[in-house]
Amino acid sequence: MKTKAYGTYNPKEKLQSLTIDRREPRPDDVVIEIAYSGICHSDIHTARGEWGPTHSPCVPGHEIVGRVVKVGKKVKKFKVGDLAGVGCFVDSCGKCSPCKTHEEQFCEKHTAFTYNGTEMDGKTPTYGGYSTHIVTKDKYTLKIKKGMPLDRTAPLLCAGITTYSPLKRYGTKKGKKVAVVGLGGLGHMAVKIAKAMGAEVTVMSTSPSKEKDAKKLGAKDFMITKDPKNFAKVAGKFDLIIDTVSAPHDFTPYLGSLKVGGTHVLVGAAAEPSSVGAFGLIGGRKSLAGSLIGGIKETQEMLDFCAKKKVYADIELIPAEKINEAYDRTVKSDVKYRFVIDAKTF
């Protein structure tokens, strides 16, 4: 199935227009005509070979929304014309413990990620959402409610679930105090979702210029992390910290701002190790944890929550020809707060 796309044959080269071969749909597949695809920082790391080998060609994109244009004969979940989404993975073994408990992203055999990977056969390459169409199993495809703005919904398939999952897991609700470290693609969604869950939100940032936006997005307070004195003012304040920063930084001062038994969750992934002092954890029985997206069930729950609360990403819509420019601007944090590609321009 010949499909127009945007990708790269070499991590040292810019992304370009190309044609890929999608596999023909099977009885349990849906074919989605893509409307919009978000640009995640993971796309950049992968396309540029910063997170390991980059397959050739690499077609990034795992924040995908569109409309179903074909369904297999065994498909009951979707019909032609339905709105649908695809997130960070498109298959798993379905038999291991994580899969059976709706945590397919931790499949013990092999999670088939949406791009720069392979299907469960270990051979067929996966290509992402920087394209006009995608073929996926209906089981791993998400339902998008009518009325959701598709361009602003696309980033929910990664940025939304990445922040929703730990916020839910650690009991975010009215009366809880949550700090969000970093105000970018992930951070702005963390603020919106935490606020929608009823929490009091504080944004921690190195950039004073982001205070106005933080308050506009729903944060009650804003704190500059460059000044150590500011950490003393919030000592023992937070129930939960959602850390979205993808650069190495010392976790110790952040741990000091947690209540007894509080948790600092990492959703940003730095390429180099960060530091933490043991006493920052021991004193106050605090936890340093990590979180990776969510399973299909939880991702659907997140989409339904966002539809109900009208929580969507703040985006800048671009044509495909501006993807490389968008990559450079994303690295410089020059976007509010997610680039989304109009698939009509591939």
Domain of residue 54, CATH code: 3.90.180.10
Regarding whether 154 and 46 lie in a shared domain, the answer is yes
Q: What is the pLDDT of residues 19-58, one digit of tens each?
A: 999 999 999 999 999 999 999 999 999 999 988 889 999 9
Regarding whether 145 and 8 lie in a shared domain, the answer is yes
Q: In whole angstroms, give the CA distance from residue 67 to residue 138.
A: 13
The reported pLDDT for the residue numbered 217 is 96
The reported pLDDT for the residue numbered 276 is 87
Percent of the chain with pLDDT over 70: 100
Query: For the chain, what is the mean pLDDT?
Result: 96
Percent of the chain with pLDDT over 90: 93
Displacement of CA 260 from its chain's centroid (Å) = 29
Residues 276 and 251: beta-carbon distance below 8 Å: yes
CA distance to 60, 100, 161, 206, 291, per residue, from 63 (Å):
10, 24, 11, 27, 18
Model-level pTM?
0.95
Two tokens at 104? 């397919």
Sign of CA dihedral 299, 244, 6, 128: negative
- Say how many CA atoms lie within 13 Å of 339 toward its Cβ: 28
Q: What is the pLDDT of residues 274-285, one digit of tens each?
A: 888 899 999 999
Regarding whether 147 and 199 lie in a shared domain, the answer is no
Two tokens at 52? 């390991």
Residue 298 lies in a domain: no
Could you report how far apart the first and last alpha carbons of the chain are, in Å? 16
Q: What is the pLDDT of residues 94-145, one digit of tens each?
A: 999 999 999 999 999 999 999 999 999 999 999 999 999 999 999 999 999 9
Beta-bridge partner residues of 17 = 6
Segments forming the whole domain that contains residue 235:
159-290
Q: In whole angstroms, give the CA distance from residue 11 to residue 47.
A: 6
Q: How many domains does the chain have?
A: 2
The reported pLDDT for the residue numbered 247 is 85
Regarding whether 240 and 95 lie in a shared domain, the answer is no
| HEC letters along 316-333 | EEECHHHHHHHHHHHHCC
Domain of residue 248, CATH code: 3.40.50.720
Please list, in sequence order, all residues whose beta carbon lies within 8 angstroms of the beta carbon of residue 345, skipping any fewer than 6 positions away: 319, 320, 321
| HEC letters along 174-223 | CCCEEEEECCCHHHHHHHHHHHHCCCEEEEEECCHHHHHHHHHHCCCEEE
Regarding whether 166 and 153 lie in a shared domain, the answer is no
Higher-pLDDT residue of 151, 277? 151
Q: What is the pLDDT of residues 210-251, one digit of tens each?
A: 999 999 999 999 999 999 999 999 999 999 999 999 888 899
Q: pLDDT grade, residue 272 (50/70/90)?
A: confident
The reported pLDDT for the residue numbered 271 is 74
Regarding whether 240 and 258 lie in a shared domain, the answer is yes
